[in-house]
């Protein structure tokens, strides 16, 4: 029995197409695969990911993380840090993107100020995120996130790990 060459080609085409599709989705399914660096850098995101392992702050793909201007801290009672990104985007467009993205992940906009830079303040129970959007030279825009998460308040403990009395 002789195989039809067109069926083999069709199967090969679908195999290649599925492989390409899955390789494009792998970084979405496993976000840690796109990270670079070692040590503390392993905790921070690659381009277009989440801010640190904080899954409810989404940074646009056009923004590139600046390791030198960023830092993170994790303790038993606190998690937070400063994450700085730069990219070639318009400040108004970035403001709209970040505001919409934060609202989509249930952050509440509680303050906004603008002069040369734009400052936005968001809150969630036991979390705060303040961000500044600033325009640099050559249409380069900066985004700095200041994030705090009170892990003990989320589980009903004070900063010393003791239960908070209820009245």
Please list, residue by residue across 85-100, b when 16 or more beta carbons sit within 10 angstroms of its beta carbon and e when fewer do: bbbebebeebbebbbe
In terms of average pLDDT, the best of 49-63, 98-112, 134-148 is 98-112
pLDDT at 166 over 70: no
Phi (first) and psi of residue 29, to 5 degrees:
-75, -40
- pLDDT tens-digit readout, 67-85: 899 998 888 888 889 999 9
Cα–Cα distances (Å) from 91 to 38, 63, 74, 97, 100, in that order, read 31, 12, 30, 10, 14
Q: Which residue has the higher pLDDT, 104 or 54?
A: 104
15 CB neighbour count, 10 Å cutoff: 10
- Which of 30, 89, 22 minimizes the C-alpha distance to 62? 89
Which range has the worst mean pLDDT, 13-22, 51-60, 114-123? 13-22
Q: Answer whether 9's CB lies under 8 Å from 3's CB.
A: no
pLDDT at 160 over 80: no
Please list, residue by residue across 110-130, b when 16 or more beta carbons sit within 10 angstroms of its beta carbon and e when fewer do: eeeeeeeebbbbbeeeebbbb
How high is the pLDDT of residue 28?
Answer: 46
Going along the chain from its start, the domains and CATH numbers come out as 79-153 (3.30.310.80)
Q: How confident is the model at residue 36 (pLDDT cuts 50, 70, 90)?
A: very low
pLDDT at 107 over 90: yes
């Amino acid at each position: 029995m002789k195989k039809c060459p067109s069926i083999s080609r069709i199967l090969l085409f679908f195999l290649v197409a599925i492989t390409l599709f899955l390789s494009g989705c792998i970084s979405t399914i496993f976000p840690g695969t796109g990270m670079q660096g070692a040590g503390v850098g392993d905790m921070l995101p690659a381009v277009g990911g989440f801010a640190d392992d904080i899954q409810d702050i989404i940074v646009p793909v056009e923004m590139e993380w600046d390791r030198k201007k960023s830092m993170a801290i994790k303790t038993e009672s606190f998690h937070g840090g400063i994450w700085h990104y730069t990219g070639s985007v318009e400040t108004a467009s970035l403001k709209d993107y970040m505001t919409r993205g934060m609202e989509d992940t249930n952050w509440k906009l509680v303050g906004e100020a603008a002069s040369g830079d734009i400052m936005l303040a968001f809150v969630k129970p036991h979390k705060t995120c303040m961000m500044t959007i600033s325009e640099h030279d050559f249409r380069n825009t900066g985004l700095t996130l200041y994030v705090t998460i009170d892990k003990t308040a989320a589980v009903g403990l004070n900063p010393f790990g003791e239960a908070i009395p209820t009245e």
